[in-house]
Structures are given as structure tokens and as C-alpha cells.
Amino acid sequence: MPVPYFDTAKEYVEYLEDTLIPDLKDSGRRSTALDLEEAIYWILAASPSKAKSKKSRKGKMSPYNKFVKDNASKPRFKYKSGKMKGRVNMKKIAQAWKKTAAYKRSRR
């Protein structure tokens, strides 16, 4: 008899609930069926889909981060050729940031 293969924990749990546990109960192996039901509980408890994700509170963006976010899509801050073409040139952004009034305020 071939061993069944499951891609997800959900498929495995469905197999246990629909096929294996009823067969064990019918054959008189109730303690084994109860053990598998407990295993299903722990599988579902550990499953990432059931886990509650804790939302992290994002803090206020720093003036520099806001500057980068606002200007990263501008063509003058992107590489124009070479293997980095299309990527953000952070060196140019940093140089432009140092010329802004916000940078000069932050250095006081």
C-alpha cells in the first residue's frame, strides 16, 4: 500500500479526520483514534495559518526616510546604465539630502 503524500497540514488533517480516525474507531482502537485527534489539535495550533499575527506598531518616519521614500522613484536618483540600471542610487539621494533645509535643521 503506497504511503499518502500531503502538500499542506490542512490536507493531512482532512485525511486523518475523514479516513484514518473513523477506521480506527470502527476497528475498536479508540485510544489510538483519540491520540490522533489530540495530534490534530496540536497540528492546527502550530499551523501558521491559524496563528494570530501580532501587528507591530510602526513609528513615525524620520525626515530622511520620508525624503528617500518621496524621491526614490525620481529618475535623477536612479542608475541610468550598467548592471545597476533602474535601481536607486542611494549615494545621490544622501548627497541631495545633505543640501535640504530639513537636514540642516536636524544638525543643530
Measured over the CA atoms of residue 81, residue 86, residue 89 and residue 92, the dihedral's sign is positive
Residue ranges of domains in the chain: 9-46, 63-106
pLDDT values of the chain reduced to their tens digit, one per residue, 108 residues: 566 778 888 888 888 888 888 888 888 888 888 888 888 888 888 876 644 556 677 888 899 999 999 999 999 999 999 999 999 999 999 999 999 999 998 887
What is the predicted pLDDT for the residue at 51? Answer: 46
- Cβ contacts of residue 87 below 8 Å, gap of 6+? 78, 79
Q: Which residues contact 49 (CB under 8 A, 6 or more apart)?
A: 10
